Amino acid sequence: MQTETLQTLIDDILRDISRDDFALPTLPNVATRIQELMADPNVSADRIVAVLSGDPFVSAQIIRSANSAAFAGMPPISNVRDATLRLGYRQLHNLVITLTVDRLFSSNNPAANQRLKQVWEHSRRVAAVSYVLASRHAHLSPDQALLAGLMHNIGLLPLYLHIENNRPQLDADTLATLGRKTHQSIGAKLLASWHFPTEVITVVREHENLHRESGIAPLPDYADVIMFANLQNSTRAVAIDWGNNISALQRLGIDKDECLTFLAQHAVRIEAVEVMLGMKPKPRPVITAAAQTDTAKISPPAETTKKERPQSFLSRLWG
């Protein structure tokens, strides 16, 4: 596609977004209702269970997650209430989002469906790394980082569906360029319509800006965490210049050497989160003993819920 024609297409999409003329998918009802309940600090498990029980697919997957390898050695669970208490409210919320949004990432067109599945797989891997990295910083919630990681590329969902319906002949290279130029604006608009937290919308807008400043400098924020996790899961990760060009690294306390070995250092924890998100573990590189992380430097996850609200199992496991 000619540059001028591509730019016209980009401009048209951005204009439609600003005018609310761009079709956006609706967040499934069970996810919307769970989000509303989570906004209530005094919500009871009974109310959550009542909502989950209305969706047999989600209920079954929640129970399956509560019996996953991450809980090896614990008694098996057979009902939604016990699964809710084992997982913790925030982890449960993220799983509901994962399960329901997963169903949106599909198409009857094989090529479009493959693209959507690749985007969603990448998002879940970024979410897993984000959870582990956020657990090193007491002011950040690992569960919120996981949610932000899941959503960081969400703008590609409506974009790909739009192209499938309106310009199915568009070539892959042009579509990739279109995605890079527009997905942040589309994603921010979509998450605003889904009533997601402002800090997650900020991640969508800013996670690809390598020179950005943290909103809570000198501390890292969620966009810093997702930026690093996204780069770690890039197909170009080994070729990235991890020097002084990425402002988030200093705030995150990560040097160049750790950038090259982070996935291998934390493979067990990352894979545990991936399994919770319904993924098959991805092979990780093996590192030598000399490159091992000094685990004494890793802080436990911050408390993210009130005591009466069940805490994420993964936070308890690594706390």
Please, what are the domains in the chain? 3-318 (1.10.3210.10)
pTM of the model: 0.85
Tens digit of pLDDT per residue, the chain (319 long)? 556 588 999 999 999 999 999 999 999 999 999 999 999 999 999 999 999 999 999 999 999 999 987 788 899 999 999 999 999 999 999 999 999 999 999 998 898 899 999 999 999 999 999 999 999 999 999 999 999 999 999 999 999 999 998 888 888 899 999 999 999 999 999 999 999 999 999 999 999 999 898 888 899 999 999 999 999 998 766 668 787 678 899 999 999 899 989 999 999 999 989 988 888 766 655 544 343 333 333 333 333 344 445 555 555 444 4
The residue type found at 173 is: D
pLDDT confidence of residue 303: 37
Residue 297 confidence (pLDDT): 34
User: According to the model, what pLDDT value does residue 4 have?
Assistant: 55
Cα–Cα separations (whole angstroms), residue 77 to 60, 83, 85, 278: 11, 6, 11, 17
**Residues near 40 by Cβ (< 8 Å), separated by ≥ 6?**
none
CA–chain centroid gap for 298, Å, is: 22
Q: What confidence score (pLDDT) does residue 71 get?
A: 85
Single out the residue of 275, 96, 106, 125 nearest to residue 194, CA to CA: 96
How many CA within 13 A on the CB side of residue 34?
A: 28
Q: How far apart are CA 84 and CA 96, in angstroms?
A: 11
Structure token pair of residue 236: 């170009």
d(CA 105, CA 117): 6
pLDDT computed for residue 217 by the predictor: 82
First CA to last CA distance, the chain: 52
Give how far Cα 145 sits from Cα of 221, 234, 295, 301, Å: 9, 18, 21, 11
